[in-house]
């Protein structure tokens, strides 16, 4: 069981616990957490207030409803597993009616925006990622305990103000819940587990060091689990029957394509029946490769000796595509891998050797290589709308090239793909498997709305963008400013409110992004990869206090060094290459701001705007564009 709490039990247990015993239990729990700082005396005082207020409120509710207190559950200071150093709200309270109350206390007269966001985040996290809470009805409360506190309005969080040692709104809602018919055994709640899908970095660390495949019990993760199972079964079948397969796995940004590929490679490498398979994940995204390899290096050094036998040297299984490509260009038989994952395959080049007008495409080269193997599975992980560089194919072009490349093998390769791609094949008849279409984002429930917002912004539809923003602002802050300092201050305050310690592999990461053609801003992380302290790996991986960390705000990533990666909160410096003029976004005319094709600029902004897992802050110096972004529903800092 993953659940850990400072104090947990039935309401009857709580009634029988003294304040001194209760507080000491929380102190001991707090001190044993590896990510916490020294306990502030004000925290002990806050726990004493919580004890008194909740004791009075629950006793009042029980007296009004005559409910048996041993049928209700309450947990204080529960740790959120997979949140990188963070506790849930102060209290999680469960009733027999199948209702969850997530309650945060603040001994203040006014709640900050960050504290309200934290309270809502805790509620949504429980309802989405805690196995016993997923099917419950949830209520969020932020209780202000000082006299004369100010109220606030929020769609998901109730502003509660303590009155005469009681929480009146909370008590009323609890009484309503207790008067409903019993439909849930509240004592089962503590047996729940967290299935929070981690970031790609934390997920990779888990896969290789803990032999643990991250799972999330939602429709999104079930899709991933089914796709991974299908890939593993296909590999065993290919080996048994000496067949060659090419599999297209489609997924929108945030659907978990890369994590699927990493976990499939790791799982095959552990299989006794596949020890000689040498599975490998390839990416033409060099920064992604560097970051994943640095993740394995960094956290590998943090592992104790007794874990050594669990560790797989993932660095040899995550490699740069160009090295692999160079070797098979020299000789198709130079590489013997039998399970190869090609990440971001829609970015495949139309020519494997750009300077050679007669060069094969990368996909044709890869199909020729697979055809020469005795058996094997080549997995193409693809998305769309994010072409950002010359020679890269967009998805439609890539599918056309794949059609020709597989046909050229004269039946030596069997293609498998989702129906949305299969129907576009003209020369081959692939096997249709919709299990390989990852349709649902795993990052957050509102990712789909974020995608709609980005498309509306880039399509000059401020009305739609504003409407969409209203639906996600309470969960996913969209902020705009013309001040770098204000952006960084907002981010630091949010980080401090949401997380403590911030040292785990899935810690809160915030950092600057910028367009490669957007003009001057701050130093680019990847400008000189050999410069000490500026390497992309440390920027993403190392703790926030490290001088190399993105959280220091002294360097920025461009679209080339952030595609396929993400931050908890993304700060984006809107550049001079895409500006709002005459009621539409236009591409800059100056040569220094132009890319080879306009859709590369659009693709770059689509990448840059979608890198934040938990929020987006844009700094925009151009007044007209700044005004346009506000009209798209962004709130000014």
Q: What pLDDT, on a 0 to 100 scale, did the predictor assign at position 305?
A: 44
The C-alpha atoms of residue 354 and residue 371 are separated, in whole angstroms, by 23
Is the pLDDT at 3 greater than 90? The verdict is no
Q: What is the pLDDT of residues 23-63, one digit of tens each?
A: 999 998 888 776 666 777 888 888 999 999 999 999 999 99
Q: 174 with 58: CB under 8 angstroms?
A: yes
Q: What is the pLDDT of residues 541-550, one digit of tens each?
A: 888 888 889 9
The C-alpha atoms of residue 438 and residue 214 are separated, in whole angstroms, by 16
Question: DSSP 3-state assignment of 362?
Answer: helix
State the pTM of this model: 0.78
Is the pLDDT at 258 greater than 50? The verdict is yes
| Mean pLDDT computed over 19-25 | 94
Q: What is the pLDDT of residues 434-459, one digit of tens each?
A: 999 987 665 555 567 898 999 999 99
Of 314 and 12, the structure prediction assigns the larger pLDDT to 12
Work out the widest C-alpha separation in the chain, in whole angstroms.
Answer: 84
Q: 422 with 252: CB under 8 angstroms?
A: no
Q: What pLDDT, on a 0 to 100 scale, did the predictor assign at position 390?
A: 53
583 phi-psi bin (left φ>0, alpha ψ -120 to 50, beta other): left
Contacts 24+ apart (CB under 8 A), 463-471: 465/631, 465/632, 465/633, 466/631, 466/632, 466/633, 467/633, 468/633, 469/632, 469/633, 469/634, 470/633, 471/446
CB contact set of 44 (below 8 Å; sequence gap of 6+)? 23, 27
Q: How many CB atoms lie within 10 A of CB 45?
A: 12
Is the pLDDT at 15 greater than 80? The verdict is yes
| Mean pLDDT computed over 490-511 | 74
The C-alpha atoms of residue 363 and residue 295 are separated, in whole angstroms, by 29
Q: 483 with 464: CB under 8 angstroms?
A: no
Is the pLDDT at 498 greater than 90? The verdict is no
Residues found in the chain: 637
Question: What tokens were used for 427?
Answer: 């020369």
Q: How many CB atoms lie within 10 A of CB 179?
A: 14
Of 381 and 82, the structure prediction assigns the larger pLDDT to 381
């Amino acid at each position: 069981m993953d659940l850990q709490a400072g104090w947990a039990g039935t309401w009857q247990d709580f009634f029988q616990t003294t304040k001194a015993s209760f507080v000491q239990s929380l102190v001991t729990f707090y001190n044993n957490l590896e990510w916490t700082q020294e306990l502030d005396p004000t925290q002990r005082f806050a726990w004493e207030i919580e004890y008194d207020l909740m004791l009075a409120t629950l006793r009042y509710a029980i007296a009004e409803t005559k409910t048996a207190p041993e049928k209700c559950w309450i947990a204080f200071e529960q740790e959120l597993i997979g949140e990188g150093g963070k506790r849930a709200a102060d209290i999680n309270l469960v009733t027999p009616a199948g209702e969850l109350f997530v309650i945060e206390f603040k001994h203040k007269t006014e709640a900050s925006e960050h504290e309200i966001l934290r309270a809502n985040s805790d509620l949504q996290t429980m309802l989405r990622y805690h196995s016993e809470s997923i099917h419950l009805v949830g209520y969020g409360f932020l209780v202000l305990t000082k006299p004369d506190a100010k109220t606030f309005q929020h769609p998901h969080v109730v502003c509660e103000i303590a009155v005469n040692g009681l929480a009146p709104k909370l008590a009323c809602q609890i009484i309503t819940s207790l008067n409903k018919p019993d439909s849930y055994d509240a004592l089962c709640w503590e047996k729940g587990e967290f299935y929070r899908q981690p970031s790609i970095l934390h997920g990779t660390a888990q896969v290789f060091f803990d032999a643990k495949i991250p799972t999330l019990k939602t429709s999104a993760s079930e899709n991933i689990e089914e796709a991974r199972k299908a890939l593993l079964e296909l590999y065993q079948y290919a080996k048994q029957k000496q067949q060659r397969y090419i599999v297209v796995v489609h997924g929108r940004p945030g659907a978990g394509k890369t994590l699927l590929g990493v976990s499939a490679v790791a799982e095959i490498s552990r299989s006794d029946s596949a020890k000689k398979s040498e599975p490998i994940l390839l990416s033409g995204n060099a920064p992604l490769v560097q970051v994943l390899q640095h993740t394995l290096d960094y956290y590998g050094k943090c592992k104790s000796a007794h874990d050594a036998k669990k560790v797989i040297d993932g660095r040899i299984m995550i490699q740069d595509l160009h090295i692999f490509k160079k070797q098979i260009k020299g000789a198709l038989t130079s590489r013997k891998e039998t399970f190869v994952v090609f990440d971001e395959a829609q970015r495949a080049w139309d020519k494997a050797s750009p300077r050679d007008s007669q060069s094969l495409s990368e996909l044709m080269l890869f199909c020729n290589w697979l055809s020469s193997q005795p058996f094997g599975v080549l997995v193409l992980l693809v998305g769309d709308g994010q072409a950002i560089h010359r020679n890269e194919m967009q998805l439609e072009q890539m599918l056309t090239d794949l059609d020709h490349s597989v046909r050229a093998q004269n039946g030596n390769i069997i293609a498998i793909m989702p129906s949305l791609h299969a129907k576009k094949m003209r020369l081959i008849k692939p096997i249709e498997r919709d299990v390989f279409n990852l349709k649902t984002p795993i990052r957050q429930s509102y990712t789909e709305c974020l995608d709609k917002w980005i498309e509306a912004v880039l399509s000059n539809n401020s009305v739609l963008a504003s409407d969409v923003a209203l639906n996600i602002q309470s969960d996913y802050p969209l902020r705009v400013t013309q001040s770098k300092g204000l952006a960084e201050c907002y981010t630091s305050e949010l980080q401090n409110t949401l997380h403590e310690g911030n040292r785990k592999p899935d810690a809160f990461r915030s950092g600057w992004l910028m367009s490669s053609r957007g003009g001057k801003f701050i130093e680019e992380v990847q400008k000189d990869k050999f410069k000490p302290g500026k390497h992309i790996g440390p920027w993403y991986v190392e703790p926030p206090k490290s001088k190399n960390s993105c959280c220091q705000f002294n360097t920025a990533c461009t679209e080339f060094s952030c595609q396929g990666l993400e931050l908890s909160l993304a700060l984006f410096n809107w550049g001079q290459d895409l500006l709002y003029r005459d009621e539409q976004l236009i591409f800059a005319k100056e040569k220094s701001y132009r890319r080879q094709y306009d859709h590369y600029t659009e693709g770059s902004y689509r990448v840059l705007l979608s890198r934040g897992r938990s929020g987006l802050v844009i700094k925009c110096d151009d007044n007209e564009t700044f005004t346009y972004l506000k009209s798209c529903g962004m709130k000014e800092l």
